[in-house]
């Protein structure tokens, strides 16, 4: 067991940190002011485009796509990318600067893994170049979407076309001015077994009949320029060649999509939490109340110590999940992926709670990144699949493993019940 970063990772991390220090953190206020100004609603902050050009020229580009994706990948393993994702997670919009942002990264994985040559040329290549953005449209307002087998949007073949009818919501990125395509999940084979009814098709953003009903607010914020849309599909027609992998393959694709992307979310949470911890420490040293520095109050020290423990635990767990994915793929690493999905968002949420309290009024204002990180941590406990769903999955896998041990007579797991 080796806990040190390899020379390759150390070099990449130093390069990324230098870029963050010299280019990205100095732009943080400008970015915040731009996206909060209602006159700029749904406009891309020019600073992001400037930084993208510089990041690409520096070679810090598409690092999220694991080495197994061959020609499309810059060559990092999941384990190598994990500490780099933490650096980006310290300022979550920086993922876009390095062309590693959600939901594009999941969609790029899908197209790299399952897309036809034509689909890759038309959509994957411009996505990898950062010229266009995309949406993943799965969730529907009328059904419990944490169970994806509930999706109802219909995709019906008519000659050389598929016709889509139905509703979606929480379609992130739909308002982005560079958005050109939606990976859309719906029912093609209603009579097939439950996990073979759904398919994914590529729907151009400007398709006739695709209506953006409204942009959905998150804690009173539209998350401009990306936005989260409620959509209505009225007889939207796409060529049959726009289906990914084939009819009934929606769940095969969804499994592939939700692997690497999930541990990368967890690492975003570690990055946010680490930055908030550093902010907490600096603030506690700087402020005095009732005759002593905040950092001398034992409750503040406990908050700092607890945050440090939680962050280190989560960081090591994500590294383990990433290593398991490299070794056994997303399927073999299922239990670790569930663990990081449970632990990651809760970590950011908990550390943000403490950091806000230590900062007092400033902690809930827009003058630090803490309030935004609190919201992000909270929403990821739902947006990346609700906590309870991951816990169900993990408990099932854990009980199955315990049963194997018990049946094999190992580990002293006798049955002590009645």
Radius of gyration of the chain (CA): 22
CB of 382 to ligand FAD, least distance (A): 5
Question: Cα–Cα distance between 386 and 344 in angstroms, integer?
Answer: 12
> Token digits for 96?
């876009």
Given a contact cutoff of 8 angstroms between Cβ atoms, the answer to whether 191 and 6 are in contact is: no
Binding status of residue 44 toward ligand FAD by CB under 6 A: no
Nearer to ligand FAD, 12 or 201 (CB): 201
CB of 188 to ligand FAD, least distance (A): 18
Burial class, 117, CB count within 10 angstroms (exposed 0-12 / middle 13-18 / buried 19+): exposed
Hey, is 173 helix, strand or coil? coil
The DSSP H or E segment spanning 184 is strand 179-187
Nearer to ligand FAD, 157 or 396 (CB): 396
Closest CA to 93 of 145, 28, 17, 13: 28
Contact pattern from residue 130 through residue 159 relative to ligand FAD, giving x for each residue in contact according to CB under 6 A and a dash for the rest: ------xxxx----xxx-------------
Question: Cα–Cα distance between 21 and 33 in angstroms, integer?
Answer: 19
Residue ranges in 69-108 that form contacts with ligand FAD under rule CB under 6 A: 103
> Token digits for 124?
């994957």
Binding status of residue 397 toward ligand FAD by CB under 6 A: no
Nearer to ligand FAD, 379 or 413 (CB): 379
Nearer to ligand FAD, 139 or 224 (CB): 139
Number of chain residues interacting with ligand FAD (CB under 6 A): 21
CA end-to-end distance (rounded Å), the chain: 42
CB of 230 to ligand FAD, least distance (A): 11
State residue 46 phi and psi, 5-degree precision: -55, -30
Nearer to ligand FAD, 106 or 369 (CB): 106
Closest CA to 73 of 85, 83, 63, 60: 63
Binding status of residue 217 toward ligand FAD by CB under 6 A: no
Interface with ligand FAD (CB under 6 A), residue from 67, 281, 379, 397? 379
CB of 265 to ligand FAD, least distance (A): 11
Interface with ligand FAD (CB under 6 A), residue from 192, 382, 399, 400? 382
Question: Cα–Cα distance between 3 and 66 in angstroms, integer?
Answer: 21
Interface with ligand FAD (CB under 6 A), residue from 54, 154, 386, 397? 386
Residue ranges in 316-345 that form contacts with ligand FAD under rule CB under 6 A: none
Question: Which regions of 309-402 does DSSP assign to beta strands (E)?
Answer: none
Question: Cα–Cα distance between 192 and 198 in angstroms, integer?
Answer: 9
Write the CB contacts of 190 (distance below 8 Å, at least 6 apart in sequence). 197
Interface with ligand FAD (CB under 6 A), residue from 105, 167, 197, 228? 228
CB of 377 to ligand FAD, least distance (A): 12
Residues engaged in binding ligand FAD (CB under 6 A): 103, 136-139, 144-146, 170-172, 218, 228, 379, 382-383, 385-386, 388-389, 392
């Amino acid at each position: 067991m080796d806990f040190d970063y390899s020379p390759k990772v150390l070099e990449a991390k130093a390069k990324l940190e230098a870029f963050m220090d010299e280019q990205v953190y100095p732009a943080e206020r400008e970015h915040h002011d731009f996206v909060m100004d209602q006159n700029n609603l749904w406009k891309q902050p020019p600073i992001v485009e400037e930084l993208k050009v510089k990041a690409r020229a520096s070679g810090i580009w598409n690092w999220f796509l694991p080495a197994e994706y061959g020609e499309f990948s810059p060559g990092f393993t999941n384990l190598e990318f994990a500490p780099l994702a933490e650096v980006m997670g310290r300022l979550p919009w920086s993922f876009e600067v390095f062309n590693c942002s959600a939901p594009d990264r999941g969609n790029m994985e899908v197209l790299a893994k399952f897309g036809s040559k034509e689909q890759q040329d038309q959509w994957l290549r411009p996505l990898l170049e950062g010229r266009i953005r995309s949406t993943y449209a799965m969730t529907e307002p009328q059904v419990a979407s944490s169970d994806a087998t509930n999706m109802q949007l219909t995709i019906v073949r008519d000659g050389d076309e598929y016709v889509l009818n139905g509703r979606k919501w929480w379609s992130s990125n739909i308002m982005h001015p560079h958005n050109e395509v939606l990976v859309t999940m719906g029912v093609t084979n209603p009579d097939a077994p439950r996990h073979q009814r759904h398919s994914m098709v590529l729907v151009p953003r400007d398709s006739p009949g695709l209506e953006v009903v409204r942009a959905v607010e998150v804690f009173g914020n539209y998350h401009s320029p990306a936005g989260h849309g409620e959509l209505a599909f009225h007889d939207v027609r796409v060529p049959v060649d726009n289906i990914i992998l084939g009819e009934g393959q929606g769940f095969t694709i969804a499994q592939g999509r939700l692997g690497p992307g999930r541990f990368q979310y967890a690492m975003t949470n570690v990055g946010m939490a680490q930055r908030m911890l550093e902010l907490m420490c600096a603030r506690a040293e700087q402020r005095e109340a009732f005759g002593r520095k905040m950092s001398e109050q034992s409750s503040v020290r406990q908050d700092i110590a607890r945050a440090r423990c939680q962050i280190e635990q989560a960081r090591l767990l994500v590294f383990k999940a990433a290593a398991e994915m490299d070794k056994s793929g997303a399927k073999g690493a299922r239990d670790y992926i569930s663990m990081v999905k449970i632990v990651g968002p809760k970590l950011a949420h908990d550390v943000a709670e403490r950091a806000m309290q230590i900062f007092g009024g400033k902690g809930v204002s827009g003058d630090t990144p803490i309030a935004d990180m609190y919201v992000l941590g909270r929403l990821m406990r739902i947006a990346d699949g609700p906590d309870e769903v991951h816990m169900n999955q993990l408990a099932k896998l854990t009980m199955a493993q315990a049963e194997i041990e018990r049946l094999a007579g190992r580990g002293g797991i006798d049955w002590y019940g009645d």
